[in-house]
Amino acid sequence: MHEPAPLSVLSQQQLSLIASALTEHGYVLLSDFLPLALAQSLLIEIHSLSEQAFKPAAIGRDNLQQLNEKVRSNTLHWLTGRTLVQQQYLGVMEQLRIAINRQLFMGLFDFECHYSHYAPGDFYKMHLDAFKGASNRVLSTVLYLNPEWQPQHAGELLLYSEQQSELLLRIEPKFNQCVLFLSDTFPHEVKVTHADRFSIAGWFRINATVAGQLDPPR
């Protein structure tokens, strides 16, 4: 498993804001999350990948994974740390993991993430990233990489209250915005996009092991 060294680019003010918002609300939306140069490098890399590098996104985990274009229709490419910019991004998220554990005692063990591409017409219907007690994903993250996003492009992320009774956030996928939320608490959906939409979706996980293997495996 790739273990990047923490890249100390997040300020103590950012880290304190994140911890406070997660404690109070269970979610937080951040503007200008990364240093501009790093965000731009991620944008360059995602556009440099071939169409064949992106695979159809499935629903479910492990042996229960299946393709269902009625639920989601985007494609993805996992980050493994094989390039310098991936290592830098994973290092930032490692800094965040350590800080959250230090302040909130969440026991976050590792982080997994992938580039996500929504072509025009793509969507992801309402879902939870984890079910209580049934997954080791506990904190979801989405970083947006769309520098010229316009309202008419649609493709917003809608984040709902736990009982789906209230819309909490309507997030346009604007460049270098990042949202974090508890994976098993907030139903959310991606509305149909009318332009190519790029992001990095990720999850901090706890160490739920079975026979020495992280469960569920990716």
Report how many domains make up the chain: 1
- DSSP code, position 5: P
Domain assignment present for residue 177? The answer is: yes
Q: Tell whether 1 is covered by a domain.
A: no
Is residue 104 a part of any domain in this protein? yes
The lowest-confidence range among 2-6, 49-53, 79-83 is: 2-6
Helix axes 84-104, 36-48, angle to 10 degrees: 130
93 found inside a domain: yes
Give CA–CA dist 86/78, Å, rounded: 10
3-class DSSP state of 43:
helix
What is the Cα Rg of the chain in Å?
16
Closest Cα partner for 95 from 108, 82, 81? 108
- CATH classification of the domain holding 85: 2.60.120.620
Q: What is the average pLDDT across 108-125?
A: 96
Whether 63 has a pLDDT exceeding 50, the answer reads no
Residue 190 structure tokens = 């991606």
Range of the domain at 53: 12-214
Within the chain, residue ranges assigned H as helices are 12-24, 36-48, 84-104
Across the chain, how many H-helices and E-strands are there? 3, 13
pLDDT of residue 150: 97
* Stretch 175-179: mean pLDDT: 98
Q: Is residue 2 part of a domain?
A: no
Q: How high does pLDDT run on average in the chain?
A: 90
Does 46 map to a domain? Answer: yes
| pLDDT > 60? residue 128 | yes
Residue 182 lies in a domain: yes
- Asked if residue 6 is part of any domain, the answer here is no
